[in-house]
Structure 1
Amino acid sequence: MERAGRRRLRLPGALRRGLTFWRRSVQARVVASTLLLSTAVICAVGWLLLQQTREGLLDQRVGAVTSEVADEVAEATASLESASGLDADPSVQRRDLVDLIISRGLTRGYGVVVVGPVGEGGRIAEGGTESSPLLDLSSVPRDLEERFDQPTSRLAWTYTTISTTDADGRVVREEPGIAVGSQVQLPADGSSYTIYFLFPLDEQAQTMGLVTRALLYAGGLLLVLIAGVSWLVTRQVVTPVRLARQVAERLAAGRLQERLRVSGEDDLARLATSFNQMASNLQRQIRQLEELSRVQRRFVSDVSHELRTPLTTVRMAGDVLHDAREDFDPATARAAELLQTELDRFETLLTDLLEISRFDAGAAVLETDDVNLVDVAHRVVDATRPLAAQRDVHLEVHAPGHPCLAEADVRRVERVVRNLVTNAIDHARPDRPRGAAAPAEGDAVAPVRVVLRVAADEQAAAIAVRDYGVGLQPGESAMVFNRFWRADPARARTSGGTGLGLSISLEDTHLHGGWLQAWGRPGEGSQFRLTLPRHVQAPLRQSPLPLVPEDAKEPVG
C-alpha cells in the first residue's frame, strides 16, 4: 500500500525535470530572483507614476472647469443684468438663462442641470428642474446639492459619474466626470437658481489609458532586457564554476591530469590557478600514497611467500619434536607443545596475510553458487563445537524450516561465519571483566550461549551471531573490523586468532556486495550481522534480521 501511494504521489516528468533544473542551476535562480525584484520595483514605480499623472490631470481639469464655470456664470449674470431694463418678466429671464446655459453646454461638451428657485423647490427631487437632453439627473451628487440649500456666491465641485439615457429613460452610458455647482440671481424678482455643470473626463481617461499602456510596454521591455543582462552577467560567473565542477568530477573519477584553463588575471582566474595547484598537489600525494600502498602490498606478499619455506622447515622439525615429546622430560615436552601451538598460529597468520594482500591487490575473485545459509550455519557450528566445549559455551541455531538461499562463494561465506562464531566464543563469558584473571583449572564454570539466527526475504539473506559476554564500548562497533584491533589486548585468544579475521570477513562481505555490521553494549554482549543479497552485487536496502537484538535492554536516560 505504501509503495502504491508513493507511485501516485510522483510528479509528472516535465515538472520533476523543471524542479531538478531549478535546484541545480544557480544561474536560473539568480535570473528569476532578479526578475521578481525588478518586477516589484517596476510595479511600484509605475504605480507612483500613474498616481502622479492621474492627480496632475485631474487637478488641471478641475482648475479648467471651475474657471470655465466662473466665466459662464459671470457672463450669464452680465447678460441678465443688461436685459433687465427691457424685460422684467421673471419667467422670461429664467427661460433665457436656461436656454443660454444649455445651448452652450451642448456646443462645449458638458451637461447642465438648472434647479430653483432656492428655497422653493431647490432640490432636484422636488421638481422644477431643467437639464440637457438625455442627461440623467442622478448624475448630480446629493452632497453637492446640500451645499446649495441656501443662497451662496461660492462655487463647489466634486467628482461624480455622469449617466446618459436613451429616449425611454434607460441608462445607456456611464463615465467619470466633475460636477460643479453655482448660483445665479434673476434681476427681475431677485430669486436664486442653482446651476450644475457636469464635465466628462473622457479625455483624461484616454490620456491615462495611453500612459498606462506605455508604462506596461516599457516595463515589459525593461524586464526582458533585465533578464537578458542578468543571464549574461551570471553566465560569466557561473560558467567557470561549472567548468571547475566538471574538472572536479573528472578528478574524482581518477583522471588526475585534468586541469582548468586559466585566462585573465581576475578573481576567477586566480581561483582557477589555485584549483590547478590544489589538483597538482593532490595528484602528487595520491601517487605517493599509491606507491607506498603498492610497496606495502608487495612487502606483505613477498614476506608471506618468503616465510613459507623456513616455516615448512620449522614445521617439519616441530612435528618431529611434538611426536617425540613423551620421551622428553616434562619441561622439554611442554616446550614442544607450545612450539607446535605457536607454529599453528604462525601458519594461520601467514595465510591471513596472503589473503589480505590479495584483497589489497584486487586479485580476489568469487566462485559463486546457490548457498543455503542454514546449512552453512549448521556446518560452522559442528566445526566449532569442540572449541565451544572447551570454553563451556553452548551453540544454538535458530533457522526457519525452509532454505535461505543466496548467490555467494560458499568458502568465503563459511569463513566469515566461522570467524564470527569463534570471535563470539572468545568473548562469550560475561562473568570475567576485561583484564581479570582467568578462572583456575578445575573451577566450575557456568555454560553460556552463543545464538546463530538465520533468515531471508525476497532481496537478501542474513545470519546474526549473538553472544551475551562483555559486549562493546560506545564507538567500538566501527573499530572492531580494523586490522589487528583488539578491544582488550590482555584477553587471551583461545581460538588462536591473528587479529585479521574480522577484517578479512569484512572484505569477503564487500566482495559479495553485502553488509557486515556489529552491535554491542557493555555487560549485554554483542551481535554481528552478515547480510548478503540474493544475487551478487544486487542493491541492498534492508536486512531480514535486526542489528539490535530483540532481547537487548533499552538504554537508560
Structure 2
Amino acid sequence: MVTVVTSPPPGSPSTASRWLRAARALWRALTGWAAGVAAGMHGAWRRSLQLRVVTITLVASSLLVGGFAYLIADKITSILLENAETDVLQRLQNGSEYASKQFNLYSRAEEAQLQDTIDGTVNYLAGGDPTQTNGVVVAITGDNTNRAVAPRTSPEVEVGPLIGSELRASVAAGNVAHQIRTGVLGDQRTKYLVYGSPVPTQFGQLELYYLVPLARQDATAADARATVVATGTALVILLGLLAALVTRLVVTPVRVAARTAQRLSAGLLDQRMAVNGEDDLALLAASFNQMATNLQRQILRLEEMSRLQRRFTSDVSHELRTPLTTVRMAADLIFAERDGFDPAVARSAELLQAELDRFEELLTDLLEISRFDAGFAMLDAEPTDLVPVVHRVTERLAGLAERVGVTIELDVPDPPVIAEVDPRRVERVLRNLVGNAVEHGEGRPVRITLGMDESAVAVTVRDHGVGLKPGEEKLVFNRFWRADPSRARQTGGTGLGLSISLEDARLHGGWLEAWGAPGQGAQFRLTLPARAGDRLTTSPLRLVPADAPLPFGGPRDGGLLAIGPGTAGALAIGPVEDPTRAEVAP
C-alpha cells in the first residue's frame, strides 16, 4: 500500500491564521452590529419625546422604589433580629438564675452529684428533649473551674466552632455578650444567634450559652424582601405604563400638529387638526386651525397679488415693446442725421439714444425677473469651457473700462475649465459683476480670477472702489438697491442686474456672494457645481481677498483676519490661518 502525503503550498495560510482572521471578522461584525444598535437607540432617544419621558420615569421610580424597598427590608430584618435577641436574652437571664440556684447547693466542683445536676439543668433549660437537633442548643462550660466541670450541651452536639474566642473571653470576664455565627450543628448549615452569660457559684464561675437558630427569621426576612421587590417591580411597571399613557395623550396631538404643519408647509393649505373636547389640547388644536386658516387666507391673497403683479409687469413690458420699437426707429433716424443738426439738437439726439438703450435694457430685465418670479426660467446646461466666457466678457467691457480709466486684470488657468452650466446665464452674471466693478472701480484695476476643483468652479471679481458698508453685502442683491444713489453713474444700470445674477446662480444650484469694506473695494464670488445637479459644500476660491484690510488694527501676532458672510449672511470676523484656504459657504 502506498501512502501519499500532501503538504500545503508555500505561502498558504495556516489553520491558526484562518481562525484568527475569522475571529477578527466576527469581532468587526459584532462591533458593527453594536454600533448600529447604539446609533439606532440614540436616534430613537433624540426623536421620541415619549421614549425619553417613559425612560426617565422608569429610572427615577426604580431608584425611588428600590431605595424604599431596601429601607423596608432592612427595617423588617432589624425588627426580627431585635425580637430574637430580646427573647434569647430573657431566656438567658432566667436560665442563668435557675442554674445559679441549682449549682449553689454545692461548695466544691469535685462533688459527685454536681455533674448530674449540670446535666439535668442543661436538659431542663433546653426544653427537656435531649434528642432534638434543630431547636435551641444550651451549653454550660466550666473553664474557670480547672476543668473539674466537663462541658455539657443539650442536645449533644459540638458547639466549639460556633462559640468564638472573643465571645468566650468576654463571658469568662463576667459579661453578657452575643454574636451571630454560621455553622453546622446536626446535618445542615444554619445561622445561630449565640448568647453567653456567666453563672456564679460557690466553687467558681460557669458559662451558660444559648444557641438559637435564625432560620425562621431568615425565611421571614426573605419572604418580606421578595414581597417588597415584587410590589416595587409592579409599582415601577405601573408607573411606566401610566407615564406612557399620559405622555401619549399629550404627544399624540403634538405629532398630529407637526404632521399638519408639514403638510401646510408642503402647500396643502386645507389641512386642519381635529378638535376633540374642551381641554388645553383642544384649545391648542383650535388655535392651530385658526392660525392655519389665517395663513391660508394671507397666502392666497399674497399669491393673488403676486400673480397680478407679475402679470402687470409682464403685460406692461410687452405692451411697451410696440411703442418702444416705433420710438427706437425714429430715434435711430434722428441719431444717424445728428451731424447736420445744431449742437444742442445733436446732443439731445445722443441723450435720446442713450436713454432708449437704458429703457430697452430695463424692459429686458423686467421680463427676465417676471420669468423667475413665475417659475418659468429653465436651465440649459451643457459642458462649457469658462475660460473663453471670461475672455468674451472682458472684451465686451473693454471699451467701458477704457472710458472710465480702469484696467481689467485676468487670472485664469491655462488648461480649459469645463463645467456643466448654461453659458448664456453665466456670461450674463459675469457681465453684470464685471460691469459693476468697472463702474465702481474709481479708476483702479479690476481683477478677475477663475478657479476650479473636483466639485466646483468659481469666479471672483475684485475692485478697489468705494466698497461696501457692514450689512450692505446682503442688500446689494435686492432689486433696485444702490449703495450710493446720489453718486454720478457712468453706465446707467437698471438696478436689477445683481438680482437677476443671483437668480441665475440659484438656478444652477450655486452661490453668489459679496464682500466689501468701506474705502477698500469689494469682491464678488460666483461658485457653481462642476456637474449639474451636484450640491456645493466648498468653493475653490476664497471670498475674502488676500489684500483685505485687517480690522481694528490687525492682530499683534501678524495673523490674518477675514471678513465675510457668516452662517446667517451677516458679517463674520474671525482668524484665517491659511490665506489660500477656500471658505465653506453658508
Aligned equivalent of 2:494: 498
CA distance in 1, matches of 2:116, 2:410: 123
Deviations, residues 242-280 of structure 1 (Å, cap 9, x unaligned) = 111111110000000001111111111111111111100
Matched, 1:226 2:239: yes
Cα shift at 1:117: 4.7
Question: Quick one: structure 1 residues 103 and 291, their matched pair in 2 at CA, closer, same or farther if it must change by over 3 Å?
Answer: same
Kindly provide the amino acid, as one letter, of the partner of residue 140 in structure 1: I
Distance 1:294 1:420 in 2: 30
State the one-letter code of the partner of 1:545: L
1:244 is the counterpart of 2:257 = yes
1: CA distance, partners of 2:294 / 2:466: 46
- Matched with 1:396 is 409
Equivalent residue number for residue 407 of structure 1:
420
Contact 1:450–1:465 under 8 Å retained in 2: yes
For 1:143-158, list aligned pairs within 5 A. 143-151=166-174, 156-158=176-178
1:107-160 deviation digits (Å, cap 9, x = unpaired): 3623444333538589xxxx97666755453533454344434457xxx23232
Q: How does 1:211-360 map to 2 (within 5 A)?
A: 211-360=224-373
Question: Is the alpha carbon distance of 1:138 and 1:333 closer, same or farther for their aligned partners in structure 2, counting shifts above 3 Å?
Answer: same
Residue 39 of structure 2 is matched in structure 1 by: 16
Give distance in 2, aligned partners of 1:452 and 1:120. Answer: 118
Residues 483-520 of structure 1 deviation map (CA, whole Å, 9 limit, x = unaligned): 00000002233233110000000011111111111111
Please tell me whether residue 116 in structure 1 is matched to residue 129 in structure 2. Answer: no
Q: C-alpha separation between the residues in 1 aligned to 2:504 and 2:418?
A: 17
On the 8 A contact 2:170/2:177 being kept in 1, the answer is no
Match of 1:421 among 434, 438, 443: 434
Q: 1:201-236, CA deviations, whole angstroms, 9 ceiling, x for partnerless residues?
A: 221111111111111122112222221121112111
CA 1:93 to 1:290, structure 2 compared with 1: closer, same or farther past 3 Å? same
Counterparts in 2 of 1:312 and 1:91: CA distance versus 1, 3 Å? farther
Which digits, 9 at most, give the CA deviation of each residue in 1:433-454, with x for residues without a partner?
xxxxxxxxxxxxxx52111111
Residue type of the alignment partner of 1:511: L
CA contact (8 A) 2:174 2:197 kept: no
**Could you state the TM-score of these two structures normalised by the residue count of structure 2?**
0.82
User: Which of residues 111, 133, 154 in structure 2 aligns to 1:90?
Assistant: 111
- Rounded to whole Å, the distance in 2 between the matches of 1:9 and 1:349 is 62
Alignment partners' CA distance in 2, 1:503 and 1:223: 63
Alignment of 1:161 with 2:181, yes or no, is yes
The answer to whether residue 190 in structure 2 is matched with residue 179 in structure 1 is no
Bigger relative contact order, structure 1 or 2 (CA pairs below 8 A, ≥6 apart): 1
SS in 1 for 2:144: coil
1:53 aligns with 2:58: no
* Structure 1 SS opposite 2:430: helix
- Does residue 504 of structure 2 align to residue 508 of structure 1? yes
**Matching residue's letter, 2:195:** V
SS at match of 2:273: coil
Q: 1:88, 1:491 → 2: CA distance?
A: 133
Question: Contact conserved, 2:456 with 2:539, CA < 8 A, in 1?
Answer: yes
Tell me, what secondary structure is at the counterpart of 1:516?
strand
Q: CA deviation at 1:190?
A: 2.9
What corresponds to 1:193 in structure 2? 206
The aligned counterpart of 2:545 is: 549
The 3-state SS of whatever aligns with 2:397 is helix
SS in 1 for 2:552: coil
The residue type equivalent to 2:140 in the other structure is: V
2:144 counterpart letter in structure 1: V
Residues 338, 349 of structure 2: 8 Å contact kept: yes
Q: Which amino acid aligns with 2:550?
A: E
Of the three residues 122, 130, 137, the one matched with 1:101 is 122
Paired residue for 1:436?
A: none
Give the match for residue 210 of structure 1.
223
C-alpha distance in structure 2 between counterparts of 1:74 and 1:362, whole Å? 111
1:28 aligns with 2:51: yes
The residue aligned with 2:448 is 452
TM-score by length of 1: 0.87
8 A contact 1:136–1:162 mirrored in 2? no
Shift in CA distance, 120/500, structure 1 to aligned 2, threshold 3 Å: same
The aligned amino acid for 1:208 is A
Instruction: Measure, in 2, the Cα distance between the counterparts of 1:275 and 1:213.
Output: 51
Q: Is the 8 A contact 2:145 2:203 kept in 1?
A: no
Q: Deviations over 1:47-104 (max 9, x none)?
A: 12112211110111111111222333334344446x759x984364145415742786
Mapped to 1, the partners of 2:92 and 2:259 lie a distance apart of: 78
Tell me if structure 2 keeps the 8 A contact 1:262–1:273: yes
Equivalent residue number for residue 438 of structure 1: none
Instruction: Please state if 1:377 is matched with 2:403.
Output: no
Structure 2: distance between partners of 1:353 and 1:248: 35
Cα–Cα, structure 1 residues 173 and 555, in superposed 2: closer, same or farther, change >3 Å? farther
Residue in structure 2 matched with residue 72 of structure 1 by the alignment: 95
Q: 1:110/1:402 Cα in 2 relative to 1: closer, same or farther (>3 Å)?
A: farther
Contact 2:177 2:197 in 1 (8 A): no
* CA-CA distance at 1:37 after TM superposition: 1.5
- For residue 523 of structure 1, what is the aligned residue in structure 2? 519
Give the conservation status (yes or no) of the 8 Å contact 2:140–2:151.
yes
Classify the secondary structure of the residue corresponding to 1:549.
coil
Structure 2, unmatched stretches of 5+, are 1-30, 554-586
Contact residue 119 and residue 149 of structure 1 kept, 8 A: no
1:535 and 1:91 map into 2 onto residues whose CA distance is 119
